[in-house]
Chain A
Amino acid sequence: MLWDALTFQLGYNATLVAIGATLLGISAGVTGTFLFLRKRALVSDAISHATLPGVCLAFMALVALGGDGRNLIGLLAGSAVSAWIGLLCMNWLTRHTRLAEDAAIGAVLSVFFGLGIVLLTVIQTMGVGRQAGLEGFLLGSTAGMLWADALIIAIGGAATLMLVMIIRRPMMMVAFDPEFAAARGLPVHRIDLAMMGLVMAVTVVGLKIVGLILIVALLIIPPVTARFWSERSDRVVLLAGLAGGLAGYLGAAMSASAPNLPTGPIIVLVSFGFFALSLLLAPVRGVLAAILRHLRFQRRVHIRQGLLALAQGQKIYEPLTLRLLRRAGIVRADGVATEAGKARAAKALRDEKRWELVRSDQAHEATAALYDGLRDIETVLTRDQIAEIDRRIGGPQGVLT
């Protein structure tokens, strides 16, 4: 069943949904990356909730004009207008009042949504009888999607993607360092608005498939996922598009393969699956890698401190230090240093002296900046340089083992 869905053999509607969801996932992932790198991920939450009153008003207007209230283009246009108004409200609140952005986001999100709910109940009492479709915009509803709807989503998604590609450079500069961008003469405020406009476009396009509450997930989760795998912004953008597209495709296929699997939530959960895997397993930024690194680092710190304490005849207070020293064969079970331990302790102290000299000597300034208390001096200086330093320190030689 799932295989059939994945290979587009589950019928016309499922195929439409899968193609639409894939395109949506790609454009949401790519667009969301800029938002995420700008550290304004949750602005998308305000934008998406702010679409609701627009949808309702557009429906009412369409009906009042005698048209079909469910005309997708009309509804999406309405949602775009109200999302844009919500965005302007949010910007105004953060720029002209003492409210921080988080409070402004929350206020716009909840008030616009509340107003939308009021309008929704007004529509329910209008007795038009065809309002059922509007609730679908909350959580998305792909049942009975029409060819025209899919076409709108596909065109909208592709257009957004193209726009993103056109203005990606200025957006990236603003996301990376707004002050530098402003100094370079870029209109930061306008670029921010353009970024938000693109987010809004993705939101509007995605309303039909995943709904306004969950579209946020498509804008946030793939970029966060992609960030684990690369330090280069252009790659993050690509990976986010890939993760988003894949989640959209797999999610839509899975939801088509069994009953009672709503498309929007499944796409979000698949996306989260990718995120969770990345969080745990990514090679550098992943949790497992970080834990291993931290343990190794902590071990190095404790052993180094222990060695220095031994060499200077100081008492070692930390139980963890003693345990690590014992395990490394530096001290015996009773806390007395072994022969090897003594040699290493003497070497550590000697290194410390060498570093001291390096750090107070202007000639070694670049090297001195590398000092972190742990680095072996052999890794930054040549044997000759070390010999030269040892000559200046004086005292016993031959601990360079």
Chain B
Amino acid sequence: MSGEEFVPLSLTPLLIGTFAAIACALPGNFLVLRKQALIGDAISHVVLPGIVVAFLLTGVISTWPMMLGAAGAAVVAVVMIEAIRRLGQIEPGAAMGVVFTTMFAGGVLLLEQTDTSAVHLDVEHALYGNLESLIWLDATGWSSLLDWEALAGLPPELPRITLTLAGVILFTWLFWRPLKISTFDEGFARTIGIRTGALGMALVITAAIAAVAAFDAVGSIIVIAMFICPPAAARMMTNRLETQIIWSVVFAITSAVLGYVLAGYGPLWLGSGDAVSAAGMIATISGLILALAAVFGPCRTRAGAPSSA
């Protein structure tokens, strides 16, 4: 395909999808290892009410209030889950189920109650995103990458997800050691002075920010696939955390690129005219990768350790 067609129509969605996938996969590794994979599920469901509340408070659809709203909703959700778990002595899964379904229901209700028809905010869009629409109309070809005027017309989602990805990478790099130690052995981490509670919360907030930034591109449900599938598949490939992270990034990129391409061109090859949902296809591909890793991965089974004394 020529640059004239590829750069305006496909380059930005591809980049956004890929960056979103990586930004989610990185914290996802730790969530999966901490058996908190479903925190990703909970976060992704409460992004919707967070954004709706932010919209109701500010009256505009703009990046930062929405990011703040969603991150705030994630924090509220996590605090509520913890509170219900501890105060009500309820197992974490059920506590999560209570909180995120309720907040999601609240979000849908608020959305129905307010007139958001003038702005681009509807439930379906929130659920499965619209990656294909994030095109770069000002571009005319590869040369546009050096053209300031054209660059100014980039979809705002691209700088946003780029910044988010940078933040996620910075967080992971900076807190690599405490994250690894506290995920492996929380009691030990506390004895050497790591504030495990604060670190756990920071991880959840990081995941929430990644989820919000990815939300535009792939919607709130498919973000869960980004959190879980690449790290889970990477888990089957290696017994070293460092290597696992690299695998998860590779899988995230593969899912995003392959998913986008198949969604856009797959139907054409099959003789049908219209593209299918890129976000859905990305999730499907990440699931296929997980399935392959689960069947063929070199480290797919549990280590043969005595499980207890």
Contact = CB atoms under 8 A, between A and B. Distances in A.
**A and B: partners?**
yes
A117 B127 CA distance: 10
Contact of A118 (B38, B91, B281): B281
A266 B45 CA distance: 17
Interface string B45-73: 10000000000000000000000000000
Q: Which of A41, A118, A275 has the most CB of B within 10 A?
A: A118
A217 B127 CA distance: 17
A56 to B, nearest CB: 10
A260 interface: yes
Given A106-B227, A220-B94, A287-B87, A125 B273 contact: yes
A263 to B, nearest CB: 11
Interface stretch (B167-175, B208-216, B293-301): B293-301
A279 B80 CA distance: 12
A344 B16 CA distance: 72
Given A138-B127, A217-B101, A265-B105, A102 B87 contact: no
B93 A99 contact: no
Nearest to A89: B291
B184 to A, nearest CB: 15
Given A106-B228, A262-B109, A221 B91 contact: no
B35 interface: yes
A224 B286 CA distance: 34
Nearest to A215: B101
A314 interface: no
Interface string B102-146: 101110110011000000000110011000000000000000000
B159 interface: no
Contact of A227 (B90, B227, B282): B90
Interface string A263-286: 011101100100100010000010
B112 A261 contact: yes
B77 interface: no
B302 to A, nearest CB: 4
A224 B97 CA distance: 10
Interface range, A side: 35 or more
Contacts of A122: 267, 272, 276
Interface string B224-262: 110111001001100000000000000000000000000
Contacts of B93: 39-42, 102
B105 A135 contact: no
Contacts of B284: 111, 114-115, 118
A45 B229 contact: no
Contacts of B127: 117, 138, 213
A275 B94 CA distance: 12
B207 to A, nearest CB: 12
B198 to A, nearest CB: 23
A111 B259 CA distance: 12
Nearest to B266: A118
A97 interface: yes
Q: Which of A96, A103, A221 has the most CB of B within 10 A?
A: A103
A107 B106 contact: no
A232 interface: no
Interface in A85-139: 93, 96-100, 102-103, 105-107, 109-122, 125, 135, 138-139
Contacts of B113: 260-261
A100 B300 CA distance: 12
Interface in B183-199: none
A114 B281 contact: yes
Contacts of A139: 108, 123
Interface residues of B, number: 68
A118 B94 contact: no
A7 to B, nearest CB: 24
B279 interface: yes
A106 B97 contact: no
A45 B93 CA distance: 10
A175 interface: no
B109 A269 contact: yes
Contact of A114 (B45, B105, B225): B225
Q: Which of A96, A106, A219, A261 has the most CB of B within 10 A?
A: A106
A41 B112 CA distance: 28
B112 A102 contact: no
A121 B91 CA distance: 37
B290 interface: yes
A389 interface: no
B277 A117 contact: yes
B305 to A, nearest CB: 11
Contacts of A106: 37-38, 40-41, 224, 227-228
Nearest to B99: A272
Given A106-B40, A220-B94, A125 B108 contact: no
B300 A97 contact: yes
A121 B280 contact: yes
A118 B106 contact: no
Given A138-B127, A221-B102, A97 B236 contact: yes
List the 3 closest pairs (A to B, CB-CB), nearest first.
Answer: A114-B283, A111-B287, A117-B280
27 contacts: A40-B93, A42-B93, A96-B300, A97-B300, A99-B232, A102-B38, A105-B37, A107-B225, A107-B287, A109-B41, A110-B222, A110-B225, A112-B287, A113-B222, A114-B286, A114-B287, A115-B284, A117-B280, A118-B276, A135-B124, A139-B108, A139-B123, A224-B95, A261-B113, A265-B108, A266-B105, A275-B98
